[in-house]
Structure 1
């Protein structure tokens, strides 16, 4: 096995590790509301999320193609394998740090920031495809805003429709509905998040000369879907606690509104081939619902902490990506 092919294999392994970590880091968000309202037991929620994420990951590849060629052209990269490996190591490191502290940081921001930083450090600013990169950043920025607004409007409508209903009976009905909305949100999560690793692996295959198009090979799709499902089965209890209870006290009716908002926003982004942060979308959907329900009921301190983390993730992982690249380049093998 020549050295280039060996590095490509190494990248595939690290990409699947990233997908696995993404499974327990981000998937927790998709089931946090259903667990916090006791619509589902943690065990059932995890199994449901794992299955629906797997199915979602097998359904689409448009986001993967955006990752493959939207930030940089893989056919033009001179030192692409080392750059991709540096980006993966950086994103994995950031995900583990934020998971350890229970902060719902964005895996999407982490990997995109790391790729951009590594590309710039390796090939220079001219290697960045700014049209595609700006579109990706716009998707990451606007999707949480959209989720907040939609969550606010949807819950406002629900309040009007159910204002004369018995609260206990209504919550019982919505708790049953939440089993379905949790599944829908987990499926939507799989259609977007798993594709990021698919795009990275496809990018590495092109750079390594073993693949000639941006089409995602089926074995890559299946591998990433499996890795994310396995990661989901581990669970992310620290982040479930933050998203499911610390932003606001969630009742089943709130949970349904937040789940539907999150699923619609994520799935909409998938259809237009844009990667979004499921962490941002789900968290801001809950904030939008909470603001509509009772603005003082939202823990804005936790919300502020999340926003700060979201803002610093892109630049921090970009710097980390550049740093890891320089370290790897100290070794002759790379």
Structure 2
């Protein structure tokens, strides 16, 4: 029993580490547009988001129930070391995509890790396939599309209502709206994502016989998960904030307000229904929708393509890492120790690599000159190469000047130049 107690303690600590990485990995969901438009200073934005993530963790436990008793079968012989292996797979993938600056799904990394580890340990009987399809895969496809369409419609409506007004005169109002909607997204993120860690810890307690099956998360689990995700959020995932705020499209205050409002509504509705969807995919879809909704707006499809490829790779990649970890962990104490050492070594190597070109609150709003280099990015480029003819990202000055300042962003520009050349006097 002492061994089980120690192992459960290791699983709980690992789950809180995952929750911490989830916080800084997903800070961009709430605050990327607010920071990129200057509505809030970067450090102020992440501090506000951290507090609201903590508050949101106390609002519901429906998503936690989906994790602890929905996707994985508690009675199939799941052991704490299986959950530990799943968490290691999720953490490694989270850090790899953070290094590449790609807003992949922490939620799907967790699901992939748990599913991969369970399949290796107990087989298909340990996974509820119907729950995976209905509560994970279908929302993964539908949520970003719905959020993107909602943000595109809201952006067009916003610009239509303000078409006779000077944008500078309405900027203050939109920025206030951005702050309010960003606060709502942060609250929704805490309500949805913090619960996933609560569910994992509760599952570990159930498998160790500490609590009865189908038990709600204890209060100490809710508090610790809320604090871990809040701390991670406060540190700020600046690389991903830069990608979502500057890499996908040039966002102006009306677009930011529309994107965040649509995302918050989608996330809160899913939390109420118990759908453990990816807040990253919802918010990324909203940002792309806002870019399409503004006349003359540009979506950088090369970045979007690599991001979508990362979404598709997340479940299987985290699952493969977790499957290998589960195989080792199942060998006994030495296997668990080996997985822990290898996991720490990989995380340390990723952190060292991130220090070569650091991104923080001082340079988060700089448009990157090139995509981040590395193994993850190379793999994603192989899966989804940049389409031919995609214009290079515009500078902030060009964005402020409008689409006419960038000929590549104006579809009629090449035709206009050809017509001008044809009528020119020799």
Report the TM-score range of the alignment, normalised by the length of the smaller protein. over 0.9
Distance 1:295 1:302 in 2: 18
Partner of 2:113: 114
Shift of 1:294: 3.8
Partner of 1:35: 35
Distance 1:104 1:97 in 2: 11
| Residues 29 and 185 in structure 2, CA contact (< 8 A), matched pair in contact too | no
| Residues 69 and 214 in structure 1, CA contact (< 8 A), matched pair in contact too | no
Shift of 1:79: 4.0
Distance 2:315 2:215 in 1: 25
| Residues 87 and 111 in structure 1, CA contact (< 8 A), matched pair in contact too | yes
Shift of 1:332: 4.0
Q: What are the superposed Cα offsets for residues 229-282 of structure 1, whole Å, 9 maximum, x if unpaired?
A: 111111111111000111111111110001101111111110101111111110
1:134 aligns with 2:137: no
Distance 1:2 1:294 in 2: 64
1:250 aligns with 2:251: yes
1:184 aligns with 2:184: yes
More helix by share: 1
Distance 1:256 1:231 in 2: 24
Distance 2:100 2:83 in 1: 26
| Residues 263 and 286 in structure 2, CA contact (< 8 A), matched pair in contact too | yes
Distance 1:35 1:201 in 2: 33
Shift of 1:295: 6.7
Distance 1:10 1:219 in 2: 16
Partner of 1:239: 240
RMSD: 1.3
TM-score by length of 2: 0.76
Query: Structure 1 residues 295, 123: CA separation in 2 closer, same or farther (over 3 Å shift)?
Result: farther
Q: 290-299 or 156-165, which moves further after superposition?
A: 290-299
Partner of 1:63: 63
Query: Structure 1 residues 304, 295: CA separation in 2 closer, same or farther (over 3 Å shift)?
Result: farther
1:90 aligns with 2:89: yes
| Residues 82 and 329 in structure 2, CA contact (< 8 A), matched pair in contact too | no
Which 5+ residue runs of structure 1 have no aligned equivalent? none
Q: What are the superposed Cα offsets for residues 150-209 of structure 1, whole Å, 9 maximum, x if unpaired?
A: 111111221222221211112232112211111111111111011110000000000000
The residue correspondences of 1:259-270 to structure 2 (distance < 5 A) are: 259-270=260-271
Distance 2:265 2:252 in 1: 20
1:163 aligns with 2:160: no
Partner of 1:123: 122
Shift of 1:64: 0.4
Shift of 1:55: 0.4
Partner of 1:308: 309
Q: Which has the higher contact order (CA 8 A, sep 6+)?
A: 1
Partner of 1:322: 323
1:24 aligns with 2:21: no
Q: 112-121 or 197-206, which moves further after superposition?
A: 112-121
Shift of 1:142: 1.2
SS of 1:219 mapped into structure 2:
helix
Distance 2:263 2:296 in 1: 19
SS of 1:210 mapped into structure 2:
coil
SS of 1:177 mapped into structure 2:
helix
Shift of 1:296: 5.5
Partner of 2:102: 103
Partner of 2:224: 223
Distance 2:234 2:253 in 1: 24
| Residues 68 and 203 in structure 2, CA contact (< 8 A), matched pair in contact too | yes
Distance 1:197 1:114 in 2: 13
| Residues 121 and 330 in structure 2, CA contact (< 8 A), matched pair in contact too | no
| Residues 151 and 287 in structure 2, CA contact (< 8 A), matched pair in contact too | yes
Distance 1:210 1:254 in 2: 48
Which 5+ residue runs of structure 2 have no aligned equivalent? 337-426
Shift of 1:61: 0.6
Distance 1:301 1:27 in 2: 23
